[in-house]
Structure 1
Amino acid sequence: MGKSIASRFKNIDIAKSVLLSVVINDDELSLEMDFFLEPAHPDYEEPGEGEDHCFHPGMLKFAGISKLSLERAVDGAGTGRRFAIHSFNIEGTRFDMDCEWGAIHLQARSIRVLTE
């Protein structure tokens, strides 16, 4: 039996994480992230000098997408390469995120969290 959705995000604070890019391929969506890891996460490292938190590269991968809505921000917010996350919700197969990049709403058969 696979891991529950909630357990996949254990010790990762998505609201404090940062979106780096959005990639769409066929029925798959990948969100390249800098995950904010909590100390209990297996990939956690003590922050270096001048750093306050542990950020770790990774991805959110969604496959078997049946519904997808991407609403790209047009007001110039987040024009850099790192996009702050304002809200994040995952419920069953539904995923919703609002961030400086824009809004992402989808329904997918598979949701994976990958840390590099």
Structure 2
Amino acid sequence: MPGIAECVLVVDDYLAVRRSLRFALEMEGLTVRTYGSGAELLADPDLASCGCLVIDCNMPGMNGIELVERLEERQQHCPVILITSGAAHDLAECSVHLDILDVLEKPLEDNALLDHIHAALAAARIRT
């Protein structure tokens, strides 16, 4: 099993987004697990092996902010990167009070997400 620092969990309700992120991140040598909803992520008994989370903010049912709140209630802490199709600056205030490392606006430009993931994984290594 890969080390914690190498594992990225992606939560997005769009299958095409999950597949493209998995492909791009695996091409960078990262281990990726994907989930179609917050409920699906919360049902995974292996969350402790997470190096970082990439969570879509705008999902039906439980949105990204609610998912991070649930994770914090469970004392499951790992760096979180929120991705949103809305205005990222509107979420920045919420992220200060939660365990959210960064908020990125779609469409994701160049290597922005990958750079933030590497920073999040470095933070996870320090925590462990």
- Normalised to the residue count of structure 1, the TM-score between the two structures is 0.26
Structure with larger Rg = 1
